[in-house]
Amino acid sequence: MSETLLKIEQLEVNYGAVRALKNVSLEVKSGEVVALLGANGAGKSTTLRAISGLVKAKSGGITYANQNIARLNPTQIVALGVSHSPEGRRVFPGMTVLENLRLGASQRNDKENIQADIDRMFEMFPILSERKTQTAGTLSGGEQQMLALTRALMNRPKMLLLDEPSLGIAPLIVRQIFATLAELKKTGTTILLVEQNVNIALNLADRAYVLRTGEIVLNGSASELRLNSERVAQAYLGGGIETQDSRAA
Amino acid sequence: MKYSRLIFALGALLGFTLLVPNILPQYLVRVLIVMGINIILVASLGLSNGFTGVFSLGHVGFMALGAYSSGILTLSVSKKLAYLPDLPGFLAGYNLPFLPATILAGLLCAAVAFLIGIPLMRLSGNYVSVATLGFLVIVNNVLINAETLTRGARTFTGIPDFTTLPWVVAWMVVTLVVLSRIAYSPFGRAMRATREDGIAAQGIGIQVLPTRLIAFTIGAFFAGIGGALYAHYLVSFSPATFYIAMMVTQLTMLVLGGQASLTGATLGVVIVTVLSELLRNLERGFDLGFVKLPAVFGASQIALGLIFILVMVFRPQGLFGDREIKFVESKVERNERPVPDHL
């Protein structure tokens, strides 16, 4: 829990003329779960995409395991042990569950352990085992999210970037997925989690940052933010309105 | 034990190809030759269009390059003097045997595909189709205007008729084996991933551009081989031989059979060839004793068009979709592939 695994300094990302991130700085320590909260368009997904190299930063630094990764391509970043489970799941719909999982391991060198890891993923989510020769497009939303998560895990990541694993999924499945994430946390996987569901995110996370229109407006430990839901809601919305989520917290 | 079935199948095929020219009428042998060449062309087209999702319309351009380059390389020195008097010295002075000329034609196409692929493979969807169509147009115009090499729009003739059924079958087997090895390897899996979702593929570390580029280059190599075989079968041809009509025929065969399936590509060729030959013979009119049909020329094309429409209405993914007969896939991959539900 001590050394910093990921450090972002004054990150700025533009999409054409639109500035998506301005001056974002954050850090994630090894073994920590950090939540990135914020409304739509706040820049949460962009932050993850910048880390995994899918978008290039205009300026600022991204340091992972004491190495500057801001100029590396996605392949190199995946090979360093950073896995990105993207927003909207993005499984390969025409390919089977097994093919999706094998693809997740495509940057690994220890081919002999891959089958054992696939079995481990099936233990984690037995439903995927039943569906292993089905094409991913035929799975339900929840099953696809399980597949997206396990596909990312097939890279044996040191750092897992998760983009809205609860998006559009039945509450029961969300609970199952977050229970699995809690297990992963215990095994020491570092997670940077983007979520709209503040409540469930703060229950899993150690710390959280709240983004609004491309800037970090609030950060603190999860327990502190859970108790101070008013401030989270304010940071979220830019006003004093209490949301359903924060009331529940 | 593992390969015994394969060796048996290949042996049977070899025996068949050596025997067939002696027992079948010349007409059928020629149909088989064209069918084999088309299988090479359509299966290699499937590597980019079906497996990688780069819907190329430029495949026939590579075929043309292969046909002309192997034609120039094999033309005898005396014929070069007669037909292509202005040929540059290094080409004019000698000629190559069939096999090296074919391979060189393939390699030339691969090199060209690699170069044009660097900018083109960045495009996707309809954009890459239009851009590759542009390549076909350019090739056509270059062939028409490079008179010293190609005799321009006039017929390029005098090419030795090297292409026999055993040659075609051998190349066809090589093509299908190589393509199936690639399509169902981890690299093939990466190819299909870039087709399914480019962003997600990048997200798990697959490099989209190199993956597409390699698939496009390999496809072009076999297009060049197919073009060379076709050149030595036709013996004389012009740039117009390798243009839009041929492109449409090959695409039809591929889409009909199933784009992401080597079995589909092969069967698409077989079905279209057999149907058009059958219908062509029928349209001359026939007499069954009790019914007598007059000749209705053009009816075969109409019937063929109708069949294509019906297949696309009822099986838009093509006859095979992305399925293969078991023979094609390796043992490991087979367990991961979709379970066929109606094959």
Tens-place pLDDT, residues B271-283:
999 998 888 888 8
In this complex, do B193 and A78 lie within 8 Å of one another by their Cβ atoms? no
Residues facing residue A36 across a β-bridge:
A194, A209
For B157, the token pair is 């003739």
Please choose, from the candidates B183, B53, B59, the residue with its C-alpha nearest in 3D space to the C-alpha of residue B121. Answer: B53
**Helix, strand, or coil (residue B146):** coil
Q: How far apart are CA A187 and CA A175, in angstroms?
A: 19
Question: A240: pLDDT confidence band, cut at 50, 70 and 90?
Answer: very low
Out of A94, A98, A152, the one facing B196 most closely (by C-beta) is A94
- The answer to whether A150 touches A82, Cβ cutoff 8 Å, is no
In this complex, do A133 and B339 lie within 8 Å of one another by their Cβ atoms? yes
- The answer to whether B105 touches B224, Cβ cutoff 8 Å, is yes
CA distance A198 to chain B (A): 25
Nearest CA in chain B to A149: B204
Which pairing describes strands A59-64 and A4-15: parallel, antiparallel, or unpaired?
antiparallel
pLDDT at B99: 97
B205 touches chain A (CB under 8 A): yes
Q: How far apart are CA B214 and CA B187, in angstroms?
A: 10
CATH of the domain at A192: 3.40.50.300
Residues A122-140 have a mean pLDDT of 96
Q: Which residues of B9-19 are buried (b: 16+ CB within 10 A; e: fewer)?
A: eeeeeeeebee
Tens-place pLDDT, residues B58-100:
999 999 999 999 999 999 999 998 999 888 888 888 899 999 9
Q: How far apart are CA A161 and CA A151, in angstroms?
A: 12
In this complex, do A74 and B337 lie within 8 Å of one another by their Cβ atoms? no
pLDDT at B328: 58
Q: Is A189 left (phi over 0), alpha (psi -120 to 50) or beta?
A: beta
CA distance B334 to chain A (A): 10
**Helix, strand, or coil (residue B292):** strand
Which pairing describes strands A207-212 and A82-85: parallel, antiparallel, or unpaired?
unpaired
- The answer to whether B155 touches B238, Cβ cutoff 8 Å, is yes
Instruction: Indicate the average pLDDT of chain B.
Output: 90
Tens-place pLDDT, residues A62-118:
999 999 999 999 999 999 999 999 999 999 999 999 999 999 999 988 888 999 999
Question: B15: pLDDT confidence band, cut at 50, 70 and 90?
Answer: confident
Q: How far apart are CA A48 and CA B4, in angstroms?
A: 52
Question: What is the number of alpha carbons within 13 Å of residue B72 lying toward its C-beta?
Answer: 24
Give the rounded percent of residues in chain A with a pLDDT score beyond 90: 82
Residue A64 backbone dihedrals phi, psi, to 5 degrees: -125, 125
In this complex, do A74 and B189 lie within 8 Å of one another by their Cβ atoms? no
Please enumerate in sequence order all residues whose Cβ is within 8 A of that of B173, keeping only pairs 6 or more positions apart, or say none: B10, B13
Number of domains in chain A: 1
pLDDT score of A236 more than 70: yes
CA distance B193 to chain A (A): 6
Positive or negative, the Cα torsion across B204, B207, B213, B219? negative
Question: B327: pLDDT confidence band, cut at 50, 70 and 90?
Answer: low
Q: How far apart are CA A222 and CA B297, in angstroms?
A: 80
Predicted TM-score of the model (pTM): 0.89
pLDDT at B19: 84
Please enumerate in sequence order all residues whose Cβ is within 8 A of that of B179, keeping only pairs 6 or more positions apart, or say none: B43, B44, B46, B47, B218, B222, B262
CA distance A240 to chain B (A): 38
pLDDT at A239: 55
Domain range enclosing A163? 4-248
Which pairing describes strands A159-163 and A190-195: parallel, antiparallel, or unpaired?
parallel
pLDDT score of B341 more than 60: no
Residues of B in contact with A48 (CB under 8 A): none
For B10, the token pair is 């290949």
